[in-house]
Chains A and B, each alone.
Chain A
Amino acid sequence: MNNPIDVVKMLAITKSFPGVLALEDVDFALRKGEIHALVGENGAGKSTLIKVLTGVEQPDKGVIELDGKSVHVRSPQHSQELGISTVYQEINLCTNISVAENILLGREPRRFGSIDWKKMNEVAQQAIDRLSINVDVTQPLGNYSIAIQQMVAITRALEVLSAKVLILDEPTSSLDMHETNLLFDVMRKLKSEGIGIVFITHFLDQIYQIADRITVLRNGKLVGTYEAASLPRVELVAKMLGRTLAELDAMLKEKSQEEEEKEQQHLVEAKGLGLTKSLEPVDLELNANEVLGVAGLLGSGRTEMASLIFGITAPDTGSLIVDGEKVNKFSPLESLKRGIALCPEDRKAEGVVGDLTIRENIILALQARYGWFKFIPTQRQSEIADRYIQLLGIVTPSAEQLVKNLSGGNQQKVILGRWLATNPKVLILDEPTRGIDVGAKAEIQKLVMQLAEEGKSCVFISSELEEVVRVSHRVAVLRDRKKVAEYAGHVDEKTLIQAMAGET
């Protein structure tokens, strides 16, 4: 039995990749003329679900229905022919040709075998006007902002491919407030024309601003689909993180004592540290002998904050003071010399060097500090590597094993070893326990607390509140690229979730 207003219906979709069950029995339905937010933390299965819908991946099990008819989406092109279009965060249009050409690429109106430019510009202008935005279609696309380029991409999806379903994958992540509102106007207009829109975003504010319904995924499973109006924010966040409110209340009751931290000289002090479109100005202090927990959902600015303190990107406002000295040069190498270390969030892309051995990976940062010519002799390298293999309990037959052959948890330990070898004063860990097994998780948590006891300052960033609460002496909460709260002493998860959701 089909609900006549469902334009897309996905039933019991299951998809596994080697070693991972990416989607398990997930149902999803998109109505005509609705904006449907798809939310979940990294690895929740959002992108796999979209890939299945757009034919990039074939589901192992499950049925996709379009307008009530069961369809087999063979390829991305096939999905476009069926009327399902996707506009990605990175726009795949050509910035050096005109807006009109971009919209009608491959479908240019022709006259006597050559392109009928006049007609093309007319058609394109009409299509653009449908979105009520002010664009001259004869101008090169590159002359317009990212937001407009995105709308051109939408226009192309609607016009050329006559889409019934529009998937917007993180469309607002590189837009500012004004541009976002512009996009929302367009989305509302399309909605009124009966187009179903799937909206993927990490910004909670935006979900509540525009979405009619919300589907929450977690760990490849469907948590549920809810009317946005009847789902309070706190509950949404709790669902994304996998906690029930009752659980949180229970935790609140058994909450206990906390120790007062003594006044100290701050190791690191950030004053109004910020970067446009990345992080609103933040005040933050890091102290020795202390673990600062950072709680926040993906996209809350937690990784951006870590990047600023470690100098991956230079801030454009505020200042950073390390050991009483103002930082002027921002780069990982400078941070390394100042005694700041970062275990990055994306272990594969930013952490390990897969085709190097464990030994080489571990000494990499230390060697970076020594420079090009003070080469650590191989014998000494092996000693250092063996020491951290033992200390961190890295499971491997030898230090000469390639890092890419290790499990996620062991890779994480290798990166930890790389930084501990440089004997840092401040250790920033961005999602150090993501995707690793329970045993290794506990070991890393223990290690962080131990390091703080030994006098280091640790920053522990995680979306698993349970571990943030467990290891931290102090917790900062980020939401929508802003630091919204800070709690000294032990806090409970419920307070954190409320702060993360923006409801008090």
Chain B
Amino acid sequence: MKLTSFLKKIRTSRIFWPLVAWALILIFNAIVAPGFFRLGIIEDPVYGKRLYGNLVDIFNNGAPLMLVAIGMTLVIATGGVDLSVGAVIAISAAMGAVLINPALGNQLIANEILTRNATNTPLPLIILANLAAGTLCGLWNGFLVAKAKIQPMVATLILMVAGRGIAQLITNGQIMTIYYTPYFWFGNGYILGLPVSIYIVALVLILAWILVRKTAIGLFIESVGINAKSTYYSGINEQNVKLLAYTFCGFCGAIAGLILSSYVHSADGNNNGLNYELDAILAVVMGGTLMTGGRFSMLASVIGAVVIWTFTVTVYSRGVPANALLAAKAVLVLLVILLYSDYSHRLTNRLFERRGSQHDTAH
């Protein structure tokens, strides 16, 4: 009755299943690796007292994926997909790195520049260029999909392939090491003992939520994803809705690139954000947004990203070699697909409903 309807509300909530998945992985860790949850406080030479432990690392390292998942959610909700986010991360990382030390883009690494730990470019300008590069990439994707009407998968494949080349052009083919302490704050800094990146994810999530849910944009995105033609016939400019979604996705990729390059102190056109597009898609699917578009939840996608990173950390901590990670991930994908299939939904519905009806008759 009241309890069952409350249970049903929880069960049909979009964040229910990703939370279940997360809980399962955590329970697994609690059993096989009790040290997994250990948290401690250490004194950081630069940022003062801070929290450390696996859980902190999951959120810190997973932040770029969470950001990309937020953007990807909107794109998938319109019925599209963005395969280029990984490359966008690389481009935005390269943009930041090259502005910190423009000389590096043009000549081989000169030792005295490296040790200077300074830059001629103001930090706000670096960040702005960083974000602008990614946003522009998103705009390009949006243009191809919405205006030129190219299939999303094909349209974004262009930048997925070309983007890594562009990133290398920017850095002149080098893996650029960054030596500029203020820039490291984004990926390594701490506020009140928690990683800066967590705050950035929270901020982007909240702002995106306001942008989408406190305006008509969210409704329009869902409407386009469910039935683009009907939406157009209702007087909504469905092209602009798509354009916005892809642009925002590029913007999210740019922030991810900023954090990632800051975290690893370098920009590598080949490896920054490698396979992030696939992880992001997986995160969105875990969050219950259909690949065909429609209803979406950005929070659920972020939890999906957390699940993926928790899984990754778990696999590493079990001693699985890094090159076998993809095989382990395949198992995760398989489980997710099974968990989200119609079959298992019917199964759980039946299970819960039967229990619910027994509950009712008992009263």
Contact = CB atoms under 8 A, between A and B. Distances in A.
**Do A and B interact with each other, yes or no?**
yes
Interface of A: 312, 331-333, 335-336, 342, 344, 349-356, 360, 364-365, 367-376, 418
30 contacts: A312-B232, A331-B237, A332-B234, A332-B236, A333-B235, A342-B233, A349-B229, A350-B230, A352-B230, A353-B227, A353-B230, A355-B222, A355-B226, A355-B295, A356-B226, A364-B219, A364-B223, A365-B235, A367-B219, A368-B220, A371-B216, A372-B215, A372-B216, A372-B217, A372-B220, A374-B216, A375-B214, A375-B216, A376-B216, A418-B234
Contacts of A353: 223, 226-227, 230-231, 234
Contact of A332 (B215, B222, B227, B235): B235
Contacts of B215: 372-373, 375
Contacts of B219: 356, 360, 364, 367
Contacts of B216: 367, 370-376
A349 B227 contact: yes
B275 to A, nearest CB: 31
A364 B294 contact: no
Contacts of A371: 216
A364 B229 contact: no
A371 B235 CA distance: 10
B290 to A, nearest CB: 9
Interface residues of B, number: 21
A344 B233 contact: yes
B230 A368 contact: no
B222 A350 contact: no
A342 B229 CA distance: 13
Contact of B235 (A344, A352, A356, A368): A368
B222 A356 contact: yes
B233 to A, nearest CB: 5
A351 B226 contact: no
A356 B233 contact: no
A355 B214 contact: no
Contacts of A350: 229-230, 233
A368 B231 CA distance: 9
A355 B227 CA distance: 9
Given A351-B230, A351-B233, 19 more contacts: A332-B235, A333-B235, A333-B237, A336-B235, A349-B230, A350-B230, A352-B230, A355-B222, A356-B223, A360-B223, A364-B223, A364-B236, A367-B216, A369-B235, A370-B216, A371-B216, A372-B215, A372-B217, A373-B215
A368 B226 contact: no
A349 B233 CA distance: 10
A356 to B, nearest CB: 6
A368 B216 CA distance: 8
Nearest to B293: A355
* Most interface-central of A342, A344, A354, A356 (chain B CB within 10 A): A356
Given A368-B236, A369-B235, A370-B216, A355 B294 contact: yes
A88 B182 CA distance: 64
Nearest to A336: B235
Per CB-CB distance, the 7 closest pairs between chain A and chain B, nearest first, are A368-B235, A336-B235, A333-B235, A355-B226, A368-B236, A332-B235, A364-B234
A246 B233 CA distance: 42
Contacts of B230: 349-353
A352 B227 contact: yes
Nearest to A311: B235
A354 B225 CA distance: 11
A333 B229 CA distance: 13
Contacts of B214: 375
Contacts of A342: 233
Nearest to B220: A372
Interface in B108-145: none
A348 B220 CA distance: 18
Contacts of A351: 230, 233
Contacts of B217: 372
Contacts of B227: 349, 352-354
A125 B219 CA distance: 55
A279 B357 CA distance: 59
* Most interface-central of B219, B233, B235 (chain A CB within 10 A): B235
Nearest to A334: B235
B240 to A, nearest CB: 8
Nearest to A418: B234
A367 B237 CA distance: 12
Given A367-B219, A372-B215, A372-B220, A332 B226 contact: no
Contacts of A376: 216
Contacts of B220: 367-368, 372
A28 B328 CA distance: 58
B229 A365 contact: no
A364 B227 CA distance: 12
A332 B232 contact: yes
B238 to A, nearest CB: 10
B201 to A, nearest CB: 25
Nearest to B232: A332
Contacts of B231: 353, 364
* Most interface-central of B230, B234, B236, B237 (chain A CB within 10 A): B234
Nearest to A341: B235
Contacts of B226: 353-356
Contacts of B235: 332-333, 335-336, 365, 368-369
Interface in B121-179: none
Nearest to B231: A353
A376 B220 CA distance: 13
B135 to A, nearest CB: 18
Contact of A333 (B222, B236, B294, B295): B236
Contacts of A370: 216
Nearest to B225: A355
B294 A368 contact: no
* Most interface-central of A331, A364, A370 (chain B CB within 10 A): A364
A410 to B, nearest CB: 16
B244 to A, nearest CB: 8
A174 to B, nearest CB: 19
B162 to A, nearest CB: 22
Given A355-B295, A373-B216, A375-B216, A368 B234 contact: yes
Interface in B272-302: 294-295
A148 to B, nearest CB: 25
Nearest to B236: A368
Nearest to A351: B230
Interface string B73-100: 0000000000000000000000000000
Nearest to A360: B219
Contacts of B236: 332-333, 364, 368
